[in-house]
Amino acid sequence: MSTELLYTSAPHGLRHGAKGFCTVLSTAGMSINVISKLESISGYRQFFSADHPRYAENPIAYAHQIFSVGGIQASVISRIGPYGIDYTGRPSNKIAHHVVVEPNEMPAAGPAWLLGQSVIRSQWLGHCETPSSGPDIPSGNQSSRICTQWRNLAGDAGWGGVVAEAVASADQTPLWIIYSLSQRDRLLELMDESIALLPVSLRWRATFNTFAVKVPPDVQCKIRFVPEGTEEAKLAASGKKAIDLTKPPRITTASRWVELARGTAKPDPVAPIQVAPTEETLEAPAEIETAWSDPDDGMGSHQPPPTPGPPELPPEASIDKGSKKNILIAVGVIGFLGLALTTWLVATQLSDTNAAKLPQPIPPPMEPDEPIETPAPSIIALETVQLDVRYDQKQAVRLILAGLEPARTDAAPTELPTAIEMRGVARLPSSRRVPADDQSESTVNPTMSDPDEDSAELNRVVPSAPDSIADDQVENDSADTMIPAAFVAWGADPFSLPEAESYLVNSTKLVNAQRTLDAHPLPTVPPQVSSIKFFWEPKTRYLIADASLSLKSPPEKFADQIAAYQRYVRSFSVLMTKIDTIRKANAELPNRLKMIGDDFLFQMKQPNETLRHLWQEIPSGNRFPERVNAFRQQLQDRLDQLRDPLTKQQQAATISIVSVCGEIVLTSKDAREAFSILKSGQTIDVPELVFFDADRAVIDRIPLRIHFSW
């Protein structure tokens, strides 16, 4: 069971007579030694007071640290930050929340992941408390992934591997990371990416502090983030183990950790956490090669092999003194003869050199036997290309229509298929730069157009010509001007490019546009997007993605998207059923009321018209709910003006319409929220796509990310 402590400025604390900065909340039964230790790590250095215009730029200290109390190690996650004005009016208050996590509670995802969940407090309610237990610790796991936050912040995803390597090393020397205040909000994400690279058994070994300016010496904290300009940052910059995010250097030592962070190495499978880190496991040397390990860290596997010396001679091979004298004389004679021979050879060479400097007749120009080789194209860096993968809207419509009858009869909800279909296309640029002397009007380098334009090009409806992908835009990029690719790789490990096969491209929009291409299937895909089939069409440089998100075993990264998809489809089925209810009830009303309903239902006379209208209105905003509310209000106002009383059947119909209108407004809101999630989508970073020629020379490197959305 976890325990917690909250520390801030208060007129009265939990301890008798305590005031000012003191403990205002602690779990019942927490020992005085643990309380004292947690209070000692609650220090905070505030850069800007609460009345300063830059107060919001104060960094937050997110930390996972380990300390020992009575020989027992405690693993603590913490948040320490500024807290406005205290009860005396001073603009320098702070608040620190610490949670001691028990070994059997530690989620396999690691401490940085846990700090991002709802277990940390950033406010105090104003009264002292002693809860019976700490916060509930959620369980969770995560897979190794490409360190995109490190890539965006430091220029190279490999820095995430450097940090993971430092954590795995038995060397206890801290690794310092210097950052600017503008980077303060992204540090926890950096740490989470690095921890995700580690095997589960090492993740809770990762100790860190994102504002490590007041770390006691008896607290384990290996990864220490410090803002630039502080004394700690200046001291760290003068040492050998520091990463400066304000001006990151190049990574000079490659390791498996660095390759894993870049996505060029296959990660180990994620397994449930087995044992909690103990004092013994934390101090045990890690059996892993690391660029950060010191030569004297005691790790035998890191020591260089001893330099071999000459073998010892046996006693019978020893030389007596008389023999030594004769040998020395012989060596002297041989040396003199060698010196004389060398002098003669040098003199001869100089004579030939001088003779070569005499004027010689210029030979006539000769035609080359073979064509002169042109310089090889160079590879240039490209911006990351986004491949947009869209939901198949036709599949969603089929599911909505299939769900009308169950929704109307209050039967079971719509049964979704086993997989949700998605497709996308992007035209890849070329990273080849043709040398200036070899450029001509007939050589065109394809450039990447807007991904949305590419998708629109693929999905455009041209009834008389289903081939709607514009080949003419890349007509000059035919095979005779491009080096044909023979091998392809996602970051590393090239595989042969299979023979092209016929692939039918279907539009994801509500049209029946199709196009058949001769495309090469890519048999290997990155593990981050194992549910996608990729196809490559060299002539147009189209990379096509055909995705299938399984509902029986959905990928964890797509859980929110799949849940939103289900909400969106079912909301539409419910909306259409409710409107059908209004249509039937409106037929029972007297003419003066029925006219109002007819006006509201003008664009929704039939189910297909209703679906078409809702399909346009729901994503666009609040116009449809506003129309529903206006219709309900008009109906009630006209009802008050009627002179003749309504029959019981008309009264029931009126009440039904008013009630259903309220339900439609709520369901419309739910549909819009689901659509917003689908529209935002999910972005997955993948290793760069590398093309090789038949000799396995790189001819193209395309950095990619995949964006799944509506």
Range among 157-166, 429-438, 688-697 rated most confident: 157-166
Name, in order, each residue with C-beta under 8 angstroms of 42's C-beta and a sequence gap of 6 or more: 7, 21, 80, 94, 96, 98
User: Tokens 């693993």 identify what position?
Assistant: 75
Q: With cut-offs at 50, 70 and 90, classify the pLDDT of residue 471.
A: very low
Give the Cα separation of 52 and 618 in Å (integer).
44
Lowest mean pLDDT among 301-310, 584-593, 619-628, 665-674: 301-310
Between 515 and 38, the more confident residue is 38
Contact criterion met (CB below 8 Å) for 50 and 85: yes
- Among residues 299, 278, 279, the alpha carbon closest in space to that of 290 is found at 299
Give the Cα separation of 76 and 216 in Å (integer).
14
Lowest mean pLDDT among 63-77, 118-132, 666-680, 689-703: 689-703
Mean pLDDT of 177-201: 94
Residue 448 pLDDT > 50, yes or no? no
Give the Cα separation of 586 and 589 in Å (integer).
5
Lowest mean pLDDT among 337-346, 354-363, 661-670, 688-697: 354-363
The upper half-sphere exposure of residue 65, i.e. CA atoms within 13 Å in the direction of its Cβ, equals 28
Give the Cα separation of 519 and 133 in Å (integer).
60
Query: Which pair of structure tokens corresponds to residue 120?
Result: 């940390």
Between 223 and 247, the more confident residue is 223
Query: Which pair of structure tokens corresponds to residue 16?
Result: 């008798």
Lowest mean pLDDT among 145-149, 211-215, 332-336: 332-336
Instruction: Using the Cα atoms of residue 648, residue 650, residue 653 and residue 657 in order, give the sign of their dihedral.
Output: negative
- Among residues 391, 491, 379, the alpha carbon closest in space to that of 445 is found at 379
Residue-wise pLDDT tens digits, 373-391? 334 444 444 577 889 999 9
Q: With cut-offs at 50, 70 and 90, classify the pLDDT of residue 136.
A: very high
Lowest mean pLDDT among 123-132, 425-434, 611-620: 425-434
User: Tokens 């890539």 identify what position?
Assistant: 151
Between 275 and 559, the more confident residue is 559
Give the Cα separation of 515 and 507 in Å (integer).
9
Residue-wise pLDDT tens digits, 263-282? 887 665 544 444 334 333 33
* Distances, alpha carbon 350 to alpha carbons 178, 342, 360, in Å: 61, 13, 18
Q: Looking at residue 229, what DSSP letter applies?
A: T
Residue 356 pLDDT > 70, yes or no? no
* Distances, alpha carbon 223 to alpha carbons 175, 270, 274, in Å: 5, 23, 24
Mean pLDDT of 198-209: 95
Give the Cα separation of 220 and 68 in Å (integer).
9
Contact criterion met (CB below 8 Å) for 163 and 191: yes
Q: What is the pLDDT of residue 137?
A: 94
Residue 138 pLDDT > 60, yes or no? yes
Lowest mean pLDDT among 136-150, 255-269, 668-682: 255-269
Q: What is the pLDDT of residue 636?
A: 86
Q: What is the pLDDT of residue 639?
A: 83
Q: With cut-offs at 50, 70 and 90, classify the pLDDT of residue 103.
A: very high
Q: What is the pLDDT of residue 214?
A: 81
Residue 434 pLDDT > 50, yes or no? no
Q: Amino acid identity of 39?
A: E
Mean pLDDT of 523-550: 87
DSSP state letters, 440-494: -TT--------HHHHHHHHH---TT----S-GGGGTT--TTTSPPP-EEEESEEE
Between 501 and 355, the more confident residue is 501
Percent of the chain with pLDDT over 70: 74
3-state secondary structure of 159: helix
Mean pLDDT of 626-651: 87
Q: What is the pLDDT of residue 710?
A: 87
Mean pLDDT of 628-634: 90
Q: What is the pLDDT of residue 268?
A: 58
Between 531 and 308, the more confident residue is 531
* 56: alpha, beta or left? (left if phi > 0; alpha if psi -120 to 50): alpha
Contact criterion met (CB below 8 Å) for 576 and 404: yes
Q: With cut-offs at 50, 70 and 90, classify the pLDDT of residue 343.
A: low
Q: With cut-offs at 50, 70 and 90, classify the pLDDT of residue 341.
A: low
Give the Cα separation of 704 and 683 in Å (integer).
11
Q: What is the pLDDT of residue 339?
A: 60
Name, in order, each residue with C-beta under 8 angstroms of 692's C-beta and a sequence gap of 6 or more: 485, 486, 487, 488, 489, 494, 698, 699
Give the Cα separation of 687 and 265 in Å (integer).
10
Q: With cut-offs at 50, 70 and 90, classify the pLDDT of residue 328.
A: low
User: Tokens 């080096």 identify what position?
Assistant: 483
Residue-wise pLDDT tens digits, 28-74? 999 989 999 999 999 999 999 998 989 999 999 999 999 988 788 99
Binning the chain into helix, strand and coil, the percentages to the nearest 5 are 35, 20, 45
Q: With cut-offs at 50, 70 and 90, classify the pLDDT of residue 111.
A: very high
pTM of the model: 0.49
Q: What is the pLDDT of residue 298?
A: 36
Residue 304 pLDDT > 50, yes or no? no
Residue 167 pLDDT > 90, yes or no? yes
Residue 225 pLDDT > 90, yes or no? yes
Q: What is the pLDDT of residue 307?
A: 34
Give the Cα separation of 581 and 650 in Å (integer).
14
Q: How many residues does the chain have?
A: 710
Q: Amino acid identity of 262?
A: R
612 exposed, middle or buried (CB, 10 Å; 0-12, 13-18, 19+)? middle
Lowest mean pLDDT among 73-77, 90-94, 331-335, 656-660: 331-335
Q: With cut-offs at 50, 70 and 90, classify the pLDDT of residue 398.
A: confident
